[in-house]
Amino acid sequence: MERMWLGEARVKYPKQWIVAVNIVYGDKNKAYGDIYMVAPDKAEAYTKAAELKKAGNMGKVAASEGFNDNPTIGGLARCLL
């Protein structure tokens, strides 16, 4: 596991889903945590996060998506052909 700022993790793992554990908040409300798993699938990441939350021995757990640079229109991804 690698401990890092979750904003940096989102940039480091673009277009992938990140499961972070032992989340704490530092200065200026920046969230820091241990990167437990990086998955390409949203369902897999949320399933693992739910399992870890239920176990209760990993502190605060969160699943979030890495940076996605796809252009969007009104919140919907735009397909470029």
**Is pLDDT of 8 > 70?**
yes
The count of domains in the chain is: 1
Tell me the C-alpha distance between 68 and 32, whole Å: 20
Give the residue, 81 or 2, on which the prediction is more confident. Answer: 2
Residue-range definition of the domain harbouring residue 60: 2-77
Tell me the C-alpha distance between 12 and 78, whole Å: 23
Which residues lie below 8 Å from residue 77, measured CB to CB, with a gap of 6+? 70, 71
Tell me the C-alpha distance between 53 and 74, whole Å: 33
pLDDT tens column, 12-60? 998 899 999 999 998 888 999 999 999 999 999 999 999 999 998 889 9
Mean pLDDT confidence for 74-78: 57
Contact (Cβ atoms closer than 8 angstroms) between residue 19 and residue 61: yes
